[in-house]
Structure 1
């Protein structure tokens, strides 16, 4: 484990994927135990990958053209933290209901 900027960017993406998987498992288990299992909820997670993860990867691929070297990194962390907060709130709401 390192503390370089690139390491923190990797940890942010791991956090996004980890919370996405945890949210998926919680919803899957709740739907399974209620007996209302429907596979269409998987499409929501595919949309989340396109809407949340793909823009983060595009920002990462554009880092080489950033003249300051910190503007896109700042946008990356703001976007990553926003996605993490979204999934933490979703998980909290699913567990309290």
Structure 2
């Protein structure tokens, strides 16, 4: 476990995928036990990957052309924390 910026970028992506997976499993088990399971709910999570995770990966791939070396990294962390907050709030809402 390292503490460089690259390590923290990896940890941020792990957190994004972790919260996405936790939210997915909550929805999966609740719909399964309620008897309303339909495979179409997976499409919403695929859309989330397309709309939230892919832009973060594009930002990471563009850091090589950033003349300052830190602007895109800051945007990456802001975007990653926003996605984590979104899923955290969704998880909290599901238990209310």
Q: TM-score, normalised by structure 2?
A: 0.99
- Partner of 2:95, secondary structure, is helix
Instruction: Specify the alignment match of 2:61 in structure 1.
Output: 61
Equivalent-residue separation in structure 1 for 2:76 and 2:5 (angstroms):
12
Q: TM-score, normalised by structure 1?
A: 0.98
Equivalent-residue separation in structure 2 for 1:7 and 1:27 (angstroms):
30
Matches within 5 A, 1:65-76: 65-76=65-76
Instruction: Specify the alignment match of 2:30 in structure 1.
Output: 30
In the TM superposition, residue 7 of structure 1 has moved relative to its aligned partner by 0.3
Structure 1 runs of 4+ aligned residues shifted over 3 Å read none
Count of residues in Structure 1 that have an aligned counterpart in Structure 2: 96
Q: Cα RMSD (Å) of the superposition?
A: 0.4
Equivalent-residue separation in structure 1 for 2:44 and 2:4 (angstroms):
33
Instruction: Specify the alignment match of 1:77 in structure 2.
Output: 77
Structure 1 regions of 5+ residues with no counterpart?
Answer: none
